[in-house]
Chain A
Amino acid sequence: MTKPIIPGMGMANRRSVLRGSLIAAGAVALGGGATLARAARAPMPMQPRVPERLIQIQAEAVAAAPPADLTGYTRVRQELVAPPFAPVHEQVATGGPKIIEVYMETTERLMTVDADTGAEIWALTFNGSVPGPLIIAHEGDYVELTLRNPVDSVFEHNIDFHASTGALGGGALTHIFPGEEVVLRWKATRPGVFTYHCAPGGEMIPYHVCHGMNGTMMVLPRDGLNDGQGNPLRYDEIAYFGEQDYYLPRNEDGRYKTYAAAGDDYSDSLEAMRGLIPTHSVFNGAVGALTGENALRSKVGNTVLMIHNQANRDTRPHLIGGHGNFVWETGSFNDAPATNNETWFIRGGSSGAALYTFEQPGVYAYVNHNLIEAVLLGATAHFVVEGDWNNALMEQVVAPRTFEA
């Protein structure tokens, strides 16, 4: 068997040994899936995904570069939290630039997608959640990520930060197999909200992204957000939405297939993804993950920054009963925000942000305003807002009553 070449895996002897055993294990794990595949085409030959010569060029360039000058930087640790929440952070940076240390694990776990139908997925995650946690830095800071792949994982993982510069967003420098960890440091040179995602190479890229492995990196201007005319904008809370399109394989009777372990769905899943029509499009990993008892809470007068990540597919958030007072649709905080939007557009492969101050109490629905996706595919979240009703804004003048024909 010809040994496949995997980017970033060409140098260390220990890795080569490890790779051999893992590829063998992978072949066993995936063999069942391959024989079950209905596809008539021949299996894809194992080929190098990046020519060996180019890997060598990158490795030589990395080895030849002088070390970064980190004088004047202070190290701080950011404890990441699960979505829809944000880690503790400053809106306006105090002190000098920081090296922000964050830690993430590539966790493979079985998650319920829709309890009503029994739909579930062996999700591939950063830190066990879909989306991965929100990471926050200021422009000019470094992010220093320790990424660890647990021993009991099935897959190789890595991370591509759209906010970073070089080496495929860090993807080429962060390939880790089960039992490995890697540390990557990159400078946040552009303020905005940006997608990050796993991108191990080839068809593994959409497979990992469509199994939950994506999230948002927010880089704030050092003096905080502003309206583009020099007026500061501040928020009381952050609501962090990751919209995930899933393509779940079904049995002949129409029910969703279940699998015993991560990766068992591999060939079925790629087949379903080729159709491009998701079976689910959900916020925070599951239908109803942010409704009912899990609804977001706020109160009249509070300002919320709504961050929306979609690493794969276009979407169009809308806050039913409210607005986007200030909207950074493309995610760049260097651009002046649009104002008073009804619906805004999030391009697949990006994050965007919108700021709103609640003016009325009650229930608000935050949806993908392709309403088929909101209602039938699951892309709905709710805010439950406390406060006093303002009749000057809206009033039911006549309650529903019968009328004479």
Chain B
Amino acid sequence: MTAHPTTQSRSTGASLALGLVVAGAIAGAALLWPGGPAPLPTGLVRVSLPSGAVLYVQRTEVTMRDWARCHDEGGCSLGIRSPRDGKEYPATGVSFVDAQEYIAWINARSGSQFRLPTKAEWYALADEVLPETPDPIFTAPELRWASAYLMEAPGVDRALHPTGEFSTTSTGVQDLDGNVWEWTQDCYDGDPARTDPASCPAFIMGGLHESVMFYLVRDPANGGCASGLPPAHLGFRLVTETRPDGAL
């Protein structure tokens, strides 16, 4: 799914993403989103990373219920339909831009500084529950384009599960080995020097296998000439360095 956009589409897309974030933040700060107490992401877990840094991490992915509140208050333009079975599900079918809208809303509403994790943070959190990486099926350099093709099923089915049905890490973080791939803030770009998210065409996703997703994609359809099995669902969870109220 790593379509390489032209320089033009890159800058257009970036300004769109940035514009939404900025607009959301300004609107949030100015209006403070009237109505009700400020929501905080629920179930934050304090985690010490191998680097020594301390991070407050959402125990679960942002849920459909969380998302519905953002949508109802006008912070998130995308509406997500929930199954009517009374269970809580992760909010999926969200692009990088959608996730940024949510972050702008929650920070403006709660006065916090939540963000997406970096790739390094995400994999440090998930390392203990992720399966070992299978060997590539093609090793010849000319076949590097096909070497990531997944012949082995990643061990889980692709149906969306209720929140909390997959593994829990020793620090209490859930579902990192589930079938929802999570947006990170790490840009995927041919030029390693160019890492500004505002000019980034694609981002790395944390999940059972590392994946790169164009920032506007909500559903990585399982078909076509993508040489491999794409992520089943796209979602996200938030992290922050600043201890919020209610954190464990």
A residues with CB within 8 A of B: 114-116, 118, 253-255, 287-288, 291-293, 295, 320, 361-363, 365, 367, 371, 374-380, 382, 384, 388-389, 391, 395-396, 400-402
- Asked if A295 and B151 sit within 8 Å, CB to CB, the answer is yes
* Among all A-B residue pairs, the 4 with the closest Cβ atoms: A375-B224, A380-B223, A389-B142, A115-B158
Interface size class of B (residues with CB under 8 A): 20 to 34
* Complex-state Cα separation, A293 to B156, whole angstroms: 13
* Complex-state Cα separation, A402 to B191, whole angstroms: 6
- Asked if A362 and B223 sit within 8 Å, CB to CB, the answer is no
* Complex-state Cα separation, A100 to B225, whole angstroms: 39
- Asked if A287 and B143 sit within 8 Å, CB to CB, the answer is no
Known: A115-B158, A292-B151. A363 touches B222 (CB 8 A): no
Contact residues in A for B68 (Cβ distance below 8 Å): none
Contact residues in B for A402 (Cβ distance below 8 Å): 190-191
- Asked if A292 and B138 sit within 8 Å, CB to CB, the answer is no
Contact residues in B for A365 (Cβ distance below 8 Å): 224-225, 227
Q: Tell me if B149 counts as interface (CB < 8 A to partner A).
A: yes
* Complex-state Cα separation, A347 to B227, whole angstroms: 28
Q: Interface of chain A, helix or strand or loop or mixed?
A: loop
Contact residues in B for A291 (Cβ distance below 8 Å): 222-223, 229
Contact residues in A for B227 (Cβ distance below 8 Å): 362-363, 365, 382
Name 29 interchain pairs, CB-CB below 8 A, sorted by A: A114-B222, A115-B158, A115-B159, A115-B232, A116-B232, A118-B159, A254-B81, A255-B81, A255-B83, A288-B158, A288-B222, A288-B223, A291-B223, A292-B228, A293-B152, A320-B225, A361-B140, A361-B146, A362-B145, A365-B225, A374-B223, A376-B221, A379-B223, A380-B222, A380-B223, A382-B227, A384-B151, A391-B142, A402-B190
Contact residues in B for A361 (Cβ distance below 8 Å): 138, 140, 143, 146
Chain B 146-162 interface mask (CB, 8 Å, partner A; 1/0): 10011111000111100
- Asked if A363 and B146 sit within 8 Å, CB to CB, the answer is yes
- Asked if A287 and B222 sit within 8 Å, CB to CB, the answer is yes
- Asked if B222 and A116 sit within 8 Å, CB to CB, the answer is yes
- Asked if A253 and B228 sit within 8 Å, CB to CB, the answer is no
Q: Tell me if B233 counts as interface (CB < 8 A to partner A).
A: yes
Q: Tell me if B69 counts as interface (CB < 8 A to partner A).
A: no
- Asked if B224 and A367 sit within 8 Å, CB to CB, the answer is yes
Residue of A nearest to B221 (CB): A375
- Asked if B143 and A292 sit within 8 Å, CB to CB, the answer is no
Contact residues in B for A114 (Cβ distance below 8 Å): 222
- Asked if A363 and B223 sit within 8 Å, CB to CB, the answer is no
- Asked if B158 and A389 sit within 8 Å, CB to CB, the answer is no
- Asked if A375 and B223 sit within 8 Å, CB to CB, the answer is yes
- Asked if A292 and B150 sit within 8 Å, CB to CB, the answer is yes
A367 to B: closest C-beta gap in Å: 7
Residue of A nearest to B158 (CB): A115
Q: Tell me if B87 counts as interface (CB < 8 A to partner A).
A: no
Q: Tell me if B26 counts as interface (CB < 8 A to partner A).
A: no
A251 to B: closest C-beta gap in Å: 8
- Asked if B151 and A401 sit within 8 Å, CB to CB, the answer is no
Which residue of the partner chain, among B4, B152, B228, contacts A400 with CB atoms under 8 Å? B4
- Asked if A292 and B225 sit within 8 Å, CB to CB, the answer is no
- Asked if A362 and B83 sit within 8 Å, CB to CB, the answer is no
Given A362-B138, A375-B221, A378-B223, 6 extra CB contacts under 8 A: A116-B158, A116-B160, A116-B233, A362-B227, A363-B228, A374-B223
Contact residues in B for A254 (Cβ distance below 8 Å): 81
B177 to A: closest C-beta gap in Å: 17
* Complex-state Cα separation, A114 to B142, whole angstroms: 33
Residue of B nearest to A297 (CB): B151
Contact residues in B for A371 (Cβ distance below 8 Å): 224
Contact residues in B for A375 (Cβ distance below 8 Å): 221, 223-224
* Complex-state Cα separation, A253 to B152, whole angstroms: 34
Contact residues in A for B145 (Cβ distance below 8 Å): 362
Contact residues in B for A320 (Cβ distance below 8 Å): 225
Contact residues in A for B82 (Cβ distance below 8 Å): 253
A255 to B: closest C-beta gap in Å: 7
Contact residues in B for A401 (Cβ distance below 8 Å): 190
Contact residues in B for A288 (Cβ distance below 8 Å): 158, 222-223, 229
Contact residues in A for B157 (Cβ distance below 8 Å): 115
- Asked if A389 and B81 sit within 8 Å, CB to CB, the answer is no
Q: Which residues of B212-247 have CB atoms within 8 Å of chain A's CB atoms?
A: 221-225, 227-229, 232-233
Q: Which residues of B80-128 have CB atoms within 8 Å of chain A's CB atoms?
A: 81-84
Contact residues in B for A115 (Cβ distance below 8 Å): 157-159, 232
- Asked if A389 and B223 sit within 8 Å, CB to CB, the answer is no
Contact residues in B for A116 (Cβ distance below 8 Å): 158-160, 222, 232-233
Contact residues in A for B38 (Cβ distance below 8 Å): none
Residue of A nearest to B141 (CB): A389
Which residue of the partner chain, among B143, B153, B224, B232, contacts A362 with CB atoms under 8 Å? B143
